[in-house]
Chains A and B, each alone.
Chain A
């Protein structure tokens, strides 16, 4: 082993370790050599914790993931080995998809689908903004990923952490390539948090000032309680028929929404929105650490996945905006193309970005409700896309 000259100098204090006379610097150097990969993971964990606390980026998930990354990479840590608490949580909640699916019940209970019930055509933007998923599937295949890996990476474009976990897990990535699984989950949650940074320049690049100035009127309409109650049931039936593989995802999402809208389960709805969602989020975040062991995470594929994840978000945005432009070619009432960008599932960050951009161009332009409508429709469309990807990839 080569030891730098400065470490072997006379200044180095000599101590005896396992009967061998060693200098402190020498010990430190050996420690660094043995643990440099772990040290990189501590830095990654630290960055995630920093983003969560200082930048308020998806703190509920980035903080546990960041802490977990440090925890499992400490020298001698056995916490993620069989029998350890993280291994136990991982096997109880991630491997069998329990955590992400139960989390979907909480998410469903949080979402008000009112804006798309008022203006259902906004759902088209949710569909268009899934373009990034399929584009990334092609891109990942081009880079050399085998079909199931490519499909799992592509689903980062669903902008939905739980969907990414379920799809990648269902396709066997978590057991066959834990490093890839970890990279997918970290990319999915990180880019969700980075939506304001990723989407803003893309929207500005592909829209003109004139387009960004287009105003859209919003008419508040009453939506009957029956419609609100039947909506989750109808959606579950339609999506279940079209993409049966996505039924667990859409079923849990819509079950949560039904609890919210039925009007007789207010305490359950409140529990699902707060206690249940928070509890699962804590376990989900820390369990992901199981896939963040340095030796499996620190591979070239992680960087490739991060790049492809970014591409997925960018092309989701491009798909939504260009679809809105396409509609404008035929529609009498013009649509602000930025609304298309809100069709991704990152709720409500994406809607906020679009509204803010509209306000920056014209402070009397209120796009929020339209953007929210497109944004919640993205939630449904992303789950449909997840189901479709699963149906297709399971045949490969």
Chain B
């Protein structure tokens, strides 16, 4: 949806291409080098559920590591410095 056929197109026009008018070449034969990539389809329910599970699992794992890090920091740094 939303102009998706032109989405994320890889436009690589050749800067050295001769303008059609001056070269006398028919417009239909001029190659600009434009290639339009079809937009990917929306994620399926199965795919997005997978992303949801994976994402939430990763966030909880990162959080667990941070909690462990804070626990260790509190344990080993408390006595060394006084505020």
A residues with CB within 8 A of B: 116-117, 120-121, 123-124, 126-128, 130-131, 133-135, 137-138, 141-150, 172, 176-177, 180, 222-227, 230-231, 234-235, 238-239, 242-243, 299, 301, 377, 380-381, 384-385, 388-389, 392, 396
Contacts and interface: CB of A to CB of B under 8 A. Distances in A.
Contact of B69 (A124, A144, A172, A238): A238
A149 B2 CA distance: 10
The main secondary structure of chain B at its interface with chain A is helix
Contact of A131 (B49, B56, B73, B74): B56
A20 B10 CA distance: 48
A155 to B, nearest CB: 11
Given A128-B60, A226-B77, A299-B2, 12 more contacts: A127-B56, A127-B62, A137-B55, A138-B51, A150-B42, A176-B8, A222-B78, A231-B73, A242-B58, A380-B66, A388-B58, A392-B54
A134 B42 contact: no
B70 A231 contact: yes
Contacts of B71: 120
B63 to A, nearest CB: 4
A146 B52 contact: no
Given A224-B81, A301-B2, A147 B43 contact: yes
Contacts of A381: 59, 63
A385 B82 contact: no
B51 A392 contact: yes
Contacts of B42: 141-147, 150
13 contacts: A123-B66, A137-B48, A138-B45, A141-B43, A141-B48, A225-B81, A230-B77, A234-B70, A235-B66, A235-B69, A239-B62, A381-B59, A396-B43
Given A146-B4, A146-B7, A381-B63, A116 B70 contact: yes
Nearest to B83: A225
Contacts, number: 147
Contacts of B66: 120, 123, 234-235, 238, 380
A135 B1 contact: no
Contacts of A242: 58, 61-62, 65
B70 to A, nearest CB: 4
Nearest to B43: A141
A116 B73 CA distance: 12
Q: What DSSP secondary structure best describes chain A's contact surface? A: helix
A230 B80 CA distance: 13
B78 A227 contact: yes
Contacts of A224: 74, 77-78, 80-83
Given A141-B43, A234-B69, A222 B63 contact: no
Interface residues of B, number: 41
Given A137-B51, A145-B42, A230 B73 contact: yes
Given A176-B7, A224-B80, A150 B43 contact: yes
B52 A137 contact: yes
A147 B40 contact: yes
B17 interface: no
B3 interface: yes
A227 B67 contact: no
Contacts of B45: 138, 141-142
A138 B62 CA distance: 22
Contacts of B65: 238, 242
Contacts of B18: none
B59 to A, nearest CB: 5
B60 A134 contact: no
Given A134-B52, A176-B8, A238 B62 contact: yes
Contacts of A223: 74, 83
B16 to A, nearest CB: 24
Nearest to A118: B74
B41 interface: yes
A391 to B, nearest CB: 9
B77 to A, nearest CB: 4
